[in-house]
Structure 1
Amino acid sequence: MKDQVLKIKVPGKLFIAGEYAILEQGHSAVVIAVDRYMIGEISSSDYNELHLPQIGLNNIKWQVKGKKILFNIEDSKLSFVKNALYTVIRFFKEKGIALRPFSLTVESELDDGEGKKYGLGSSAAIVVTVVTAMLHFFQDKKIQPTEELIYKLSAIAHYYTQGNGSCADIAASTFGGWLKYTMFDHSWLDHEINAGTNLIKLVDQKWPLLEIKRIHPPQDLYLVVGWTGKSVSTVPMVRSIQALRTNHFEVYQEFLSQSKYAVSRLIESFYENNSLRAVESLTDNRHALMHLGELATVDIETPELKKLISIANRYGSGKSSGAGGGDCGIAFVINKEHVAKLEKDWQQANIEPLKLNVSLTGASVKTITKNHH
């Protein structure tokens, strides 16, 4: 048994449409999983240990003390992992599952080896990796590690760390593929967690408003992704947008209705296999986001993103992805020959085309057997 190692692969994510609006009730987003992965390995050990080699954190020992998880080092980069461990251990205790020590290593392909950060959702992916690894490692009759269970426990862990966010990235990393995503009722989860509702009850019930639905793009639609060369911190941008929402709600409502129109048209275009309409809807969503950026006086579209988009518009349509302000932009192109031309034009403009495809599988696990050294 000692030799059994579970290998976990969890894809990163990109937003296609519906950014910012997704945080409001009744709004949906389109999000995808991409074929860059967080890779985890979990195996039995004599004590609990954690290895995150890429951020220089190896041989971290940890233990459960009452309601806390104590690491032998303090590092803010560990907060997502700590809350993921805490959430799953609490769930196991409620289920009456005995813990045994394990070693967990997590490495990321989401950013480039030279330290370029692309904004592919690494904090969500690491939470999903830890949750998936533990659920499968301790799997027995009492636990079936379904996608829904992984998503819900990851969303709760993410909530403990950040207290906000749509968790669309968690859905993409868990389920894979192209998703139509509608966020759960945030105030409901807030209330349940603060009331100390037990996790078994929380994960077993239907979460109000939550919808995660696989969708399929038109057959002749190509997604192309470019990186602007600048990574971005989402938090300050989200704050500026929230300030607009608080102080000028009627103006913000205008953005919401524009976004809703664009996203619902995009989803319809998928159902109708209508690539032309998909291209138009992406433009509509871009305009809604530009308008929002102007109103909130934030650079959702940096000069680099504007350049990326105007080049994309020669061949189809382009927009920022995620919070904007840097990171990646995306393009919808209908003609396969145009993909190569677009990528070439981007390169000439110092925009790096990323060889990203949609990962049709979400979090996955396989057993590998290692020999004793």
Structure 2
Amino acid sequence: MAARTTRYAPGKLMVAGEYAVLEPGRPAIVAAVDRYVTVTATAVEDADIVIGSDLLDHEVRLRRSRQGLEALPGQDPALVRGVLAYVVSAVETIEQLRTERRLGLAPVRLSVRSDLHRAGVKTGLGSSAAVTVASTRALADHYGMRLSTEDRFRLALLAAVQVDAGPSGADLAAATWQGWVSYRSPDRQALLNDLHRHGVAHSLERPWADLAVLPLPPPTELALHVGWSGSPASTTALVADLATRPGWQGAPRTRFLDDSEQCVSAAERALRRDETEGLLDAVRTARSLLTRLDAETSLGIVTAPLHRLCEVAESCGAAAKPSGAGGGDCGIALLPAHHSAELLRRRWTAAGITPVPLRVTAGVADDTGPEARIDPDVPPSPRGHTR
């Protein structure tokens, strides 16, 4: 076991396929961005598991039990299934796998830092996914486990569905493979049921129907820009609310899913062929689909600030849309290289939109062991594919 292991996972932006990707086998395109969650695992002697976070003012000490990790006396038990839920679930999933494989456990401290918040407020960059991926890899590598990239993703998704089986896992795929990624989700409820019946090892090793992850090449003549609407949104609440809306039933739902699949397929083709206009058209189509879904369901996807963000970006020559579930958080704009990024930033600021300096990360190569970087002082330098 390593004395100290640090791992990073980036945030994400949804490029196309929001809401449709919640359905098993339906595609989306997601991009990893150079804001990171950092998790450091170190040996500790005075508790089974200690978790510290820059979002908390004190460490939380936990002990192992037959029901999973639980807070020691004097600790706030609500934190275990609240703020720290995804970290705790990642630890429990890794340790259950080790137990099933008759491998030992050891006391560990996990220290978490996040660059995916503004003054403690989430910005819609997938902080829950990033902390799940980073925690999973930090602990697995700390134990010396040799896992492929896909196994790390699968373990992170198994950890995530135990907290909430609703989200698609696209943000976990972006945090794992990085760069531009095409993603089709498995049936998360089926994974959760299988996990409860057969355990982590069986769930990890069996085939997952509908899951598909395909790294995509970046565009060479488009720059991805990000604006923050100024208010956070709850993806979980919006996704849960959608299922109750009359406009998400029957023919409208089927039409949205089919139209979204065609849009994502067009965006994938444009990326593979580096067709600038094709990708711009696909992003505009993705925006119109979200706008139509919002009109049919009254879900509140396209808020007034997100509408302004898109309209201002279009006036500067970009194709723009909300990124993710909407209701707040961020929007994206793909701007041709010959248009002024400074003009876009100035106009966004004047419209009350905060430009966020982000770049898409490079994709990572598949491997079967822990990365060589152990406890560096800073996260990886961004290797942006877009200007």
TM-score w.r.t. length of structure 1: 0.92
Equivalent pair of 1:318/1:329 in contact (CA under 8 Å): yes
Please state if 1:123 is matched with 2:128: yes
- Offset, 1:163: 2.2
Task: Provide the identity percentage.
Answer: 28
Cα separation, partners in 2 of 1:185 and 1:117, compared to 1, 3 Å: closer
Cα separation, partners in 2 of 1:369 and 1:78, compared to 1, 3 Å: closer
Distance 2:188 2:127 in 1: 22
Equivalent pair of 1:54/1:107 in contact (CA under 8 Å): yes
Equivalent pair of 2:51/2:59 in contact (CA under 8 Å): yes
Distance 2:358 2:130 in 1: 16
Aligned ranges for residues 11-90 of structure 1 at < 5 Å?
11-46=10-45, 47-72=47-72, 73=75, 74=77, 75=79, 76-90=82-96
- Offset, 1:188: 3.2
Equivalent pair of 2:180/2:363 in contact (CA under 8 Å): no
- Offset, 1:180: 0.2
Cα separation, partners in 2 of 1:38 and 1:338, compared to 1, 3 Å: same
Q: Give the unaligned 5+ runs of structure 1.
A: none
- Offset, 1:337: 3.8
Equivalent pair of 1:7/1:365 in contact (CA under 8 Å): no
Distance 1:367 1:190 in 2: 33
Match of 1:102 in 2: 108
Cα separation, partners in 2 of 1:272 and 1:237, compared to 1, 3 Å: same
Equivalent pair of 1:50/1:103 in contact (CA under 8 Å): yes
Please state if 1:366 is matched with 2:369: no
Aligned ranges for residues 147-162 of structure 1 at < 5 Å?
147-162=149-164
Equivalent pair of 2:219/2:274 in contact (CA under 8 Å): yes
- Offset, 1:235: 2.6
Equivalent pair of 2:12/2:30 in contact (CA under 8 Å): yes
- Offset, 1:361: 5.0
Distance 2:139 2:113 in 1: 16
Q: Which moved more, 1:72-81 or 1:9-18?
A: 72-81
Distance 1:246 1:303 in 2: 21
Aligned letter for 1:241?
A: L
Deviation string for 1:295-329 (max 9, x for gaps)? 00122111111110011112121100000011100
- Offset, 1:201: 2.3
Match of 1:356 in 2: 358
Aligned letter for 2:374?
A: T
Aligned letter for 2:104?
A: A
Deviation string for 1:233-288 (max 9, x for gaps)? 12332233212378632111121122112111111101111011100110011111
Q: Which moved more, 1:125-134 or 1:230-239?
A: 230-239
Equivalent pair of 1:49/1:59 in contact (CA under 8 Å): no
Q: Which moved more, 1:356-365 or 1:161-170?
A: 356-365
Q: Secondary structure at the match of 2:93?
A: helix
Q: Secondary structure at the match of 2:161?
A: helix
Equivalent pair of 1:92/1:98 in contact (CA under 8 Å): yes
Cα separation, partners in 2 of 1:157 and 1:369, compared to 1, 3 Å: closer
Name the count of aligned residue pairs: 364
Match of 1:276 in 2: 277
Distance 1:317 1:311 in 2: 10
Distance 1:331 1:128 in 2: 27
- Offset, 1:187: 4.5
Cα separation, partners in 2 of 1:121 and 1:369, compared to 1, 3 Å: closer
Please state if 1:137 is matched with 2:138: no
Match of 2:206 in 1: 205
Match of 2:181 in 1: 179
Q: Secondary structure at the match of 1:360?
A: coil
Equivalent pair of 2:48/2:64 in contact (CA under 8 Å): no
Cα separation, partners in 2 of 1:247 and 1:28, compared to 1, 3 Å: closer
Equivalent pair of 1:155/1:170 in contact (CA under 8 Å): yes
Distance 2:286 2:185 in 1: 18
Q: Which moved more, 1:235-244 or 1:177-186?
A: 235-244
Q: Give the unaligned 5+ runs of structure 2.
A: 365-369, 378-387
Distance 2:248 2:27 in 1: 23
Cα separation, partners in 2 of 1:365 and 1:305, compared to 1, 3 Å: farther
Equivalent pair of 1:5/1:369 in contact (CA under 8 Å): no
Distance 2:372 2:237 in 1: 36
Distance 2:235 2:225 in 1: 22
